[in-house]
Amino acid sequence: MKKTITLLLALALCLSLCACSNSNAELETETLELLDESYSYCHTGILYMLRAWDFSIKHSSDSTREEYEALWNKFGAQMGMTEDDMVDALIGGCGLTIEDLSLYGSDGKTKDPSRGLNTTIGGMLFMKASYSVPTARYAFEQRNEGIDNVGRLEQIKENLKTIGEKSKSYDLLKEYYLLVSEMQNWIQSPNGSYSSSSSSLTDYEKKSESIKQELDLIIN
């Protein structure tokens, strides 16, 4: 009888350990999938914002009224934005008002939205990265308004606490999480020069690929 009880207890312990192991493995897989989704979101966003920055650099020397006016449509075409998109983004992302973007009224002194947009002024704004980049960020976030990437990163952080440092995948998952968090921080508050930001993105790409390859060996 004692032997039977001992065997049953040992079997129960083994089953319990197997269940915990399977649960942890599932959480590791789920966390990796969340990290991949978060990385993809951030990578797309940074690329989009850098495209706007590159536009400003290339057109920083434009100097005629015709060139200024043409920039309005050129920026929209390059960024895949309609006129309404650009107006909304300049207001929502740069803190401008519709009056700021409007033509002057008949008195020549007061902006009058009913007279339409001043696309010359609008085009000139996109010559500066301080306007083009926030415009791009706002447009990107609006297109992905159903995605809470900050919330997703918080979920990943909680998952890591549950997975624990004893897991073979913990250090790599944590490294991946810190990398993606850094990318998310850049989207929210771009810093550095265009050149350094582009180099950082290349580094993110190389580092994330290396991490994912190692994680595939452990998790999959």
The average confidence (pLDDT) of the chain is: 90
Q: What is the pTM of this model?
A: 0.87
Check whether 11 has a pLDDT greater than 80.
no
Q: Note the pLDDT tens digit of each residue in 22-35.
A: 668 899 999 999 99
Give helix 83-94 / helix 129-143 axis angle, nearest 10°: 110
Check whether 159 has a pLDDT greater than 50.
yes
- pLDDT category at 2 given cuts 50, 70, 90 is low
Q: Residue 199: which residues within 8 A CB-CB, separation 6 or more? A: none
Give the pLDDT of residue 17. 39
Give the pLDDT of residue 24. 84
Check whether 124 has a pLDDT greater than 90.
yes
- pLDDT category at 10 given cuts 50, 70, 90 is very low
Q: Note the pLDDT tens digit of each residue in 186-212.
A: 999 999 999 999 999 999 999 999 999
- Radius of gyration for the alpha carbons in the chain, expressed in angstroms and rounded: 26
Check whether 56 has a pLDDT greater than 60.
yes
